[in-house]
Structure 1
Amino acid sequence: MKDRPRRLRTNAAMRALTRETHLHPRDLVLPVFVREGAGGALPIRSMPGVVQHTLDTLPDVVATVEAAGLGGIMLFGVPEHRDATGSGATDPDGILNRAIAVAVTASTGNTVVMADLCLDEFTDHGHCGVLTSDGGVDNDSTLVRYEEMAIAQARAGAAVVGLSGMMDGQVRAVRAALDDAGFTDTAILAYSAKYASAFYGPFRDAVESTLDGDRRTYQMDYANRVEGSREADLDVLEGADIVMVKPAMSYLDVLADVADRVDVPVAAYQVSGEYAMIEAAAAHGWINRNAAIMESVHSIRRAGATIIFTYWALEVATWLKDNG
């Protein structure tokens, strides 16, 4: 008898029946940028099809996300003014906290409103924390700012705060601060294994980053694998409700490792550079755009992510529904 694995590939119906990895719109989260002072949605040059929204256009985005059946929306603020400590991040009238409130009001409760908890969009130096006198990032002083930021976001209505700064002890500090302030139901998404990656370039256009230099002293070395699992383990012990690997596609090995060992949901972020590369190649006719998108998102799900952050979330959700 000859082995014939091809029997299960003979047609589309058979392939669908025997498919190992399944994707649902509820597995997807749409990242959304909200810019202060903009008169309307502004295209992001390096991310074709993605825009900076305004507080006025945000309700329509939330409605579209809910109609598509996505699991959530992740909000990033783009302020007009920045300073050394990122004071806009904790100002109740700051763009991100106002965006959270607008999104929560616009939501019917069928999607999870999440907010990025990091100072980089709000600091004039572009780093994710408070700086020391010699220009380094002060881990423990930054934790105080994260605690304040978490409380501000929870008060604005965020169901999930996304700790993306990669400061040691950030989950423990924020969990304690939220609990002490009475926000025991506010969940923490820890960007546990966040690598210092070249694939973040277009994102820095999206948030108009002022960074001069890099973040290698706090984001992870791309050559390290085991360290990603260690970071995830620490965050779970400190109280993370969800852990994340970022970027996704260049770190599928780390994602698989983390998914195999933790007992909380695992997220992965298909970052701006991954998005831009596929869009650019497709624009030149070098690849089939839709097929490449679906293959890339499925690869992240196959590696173990139960939650996928992707700028294609709305399109992918439509395709999934159309294909039954």
Structure 2
Amino acid sequence: MDIGNATSVNQFILMGLTDVPWLQKVLFVSFLFFYQLNIAGNLLIITLAIRDTALHAPMYFLLANLSFLDIWFSSVTVPKMLVGFLEDNIISVSGCIAQMHFFHFLGCAEGVLLASMGYDRYVAICSPLRYCSIMNRLFCIQLVLASWLIGFFSSLIHSIMSSMLPFCKFNKVQHFFCDVKPVIKLACSNTFINEITVAALSGFLSTCTFSLTFLSYFYIIVHLFKARSSQRSMKAFSTCSSHLTIVILFYGTAMCTYIGPSSEDSIQKDKVAAVLFTVITPTLNPIIYALRNKEVKKSIKKFFTFQS
């Protein structure tokens, strides 16, 4: 293709999940409900972590930051997706790159934060006497800042490389938001380097954070097996169950999406996976913690009793 004579594309059309009218309406109502539940649930977790002194602990500080990330992570994609169910979903190229940047920025930050939460559980169970000295306020703030910085700079690489590609003919993004893999497929030049970078960088970061989380739980399990009290072991591991469930939900979809080559079949599967980690998982996170964590359940009861 002669790129010099081609017409430059200045906007993209997001093709969405389906073009069936009745299904679009069903999905609009369903995803709007999930999005509202996501905002309400995560705002509740943040409010409880701030107001309730019983939750002024490192674990809940990290949980509140996870809820903050979840709100914005969904807000980057879901409102635009909802618009697409009602009308043609058009986005400028610069807006598309911006959406791509913030999506990967917040998603990567969440992965790093989940690893930090795994380390928090490791220290709490394996070194309880040193917990307060290790997981002090300054260290917790550093963990949160590290998650934001790692997410920002890793996403910046994708954004810069994608913005340098020439888009000169095709403008239909086969997705409900501007994700890096379907966007770079529209470029008029060879995107091999971009695809390798996506797989390598995303694979490296997700593998590292998942491995660190796995390592934390490996040492936790070894420690609990050595513990004499089975009751104490079960009580200790119950504090990890909600975090472990969220880790499985998050990495189970994210790693399958970004590790591997891009193809027509993979992009269709990626849409389904993307719905899980942009709509479903952020909504389930506060529900999982509310149902499986006794301190959070007590705090919720206290909060609504006080409000009434």
Q: TM-score, normalised by structure 1?
A: 0.28
The structure carrying a bigger helix percent of its residues is 2
Which is bigger in relative contact order (C-alpha 8 A, separation at least 6)?
Answer: 2
Rg (Cα) greater in structure: 2
The structure carrying a bigger strand percent of its residues is 1
Q: TM-score, normalised by structure 2?
A: 0.29
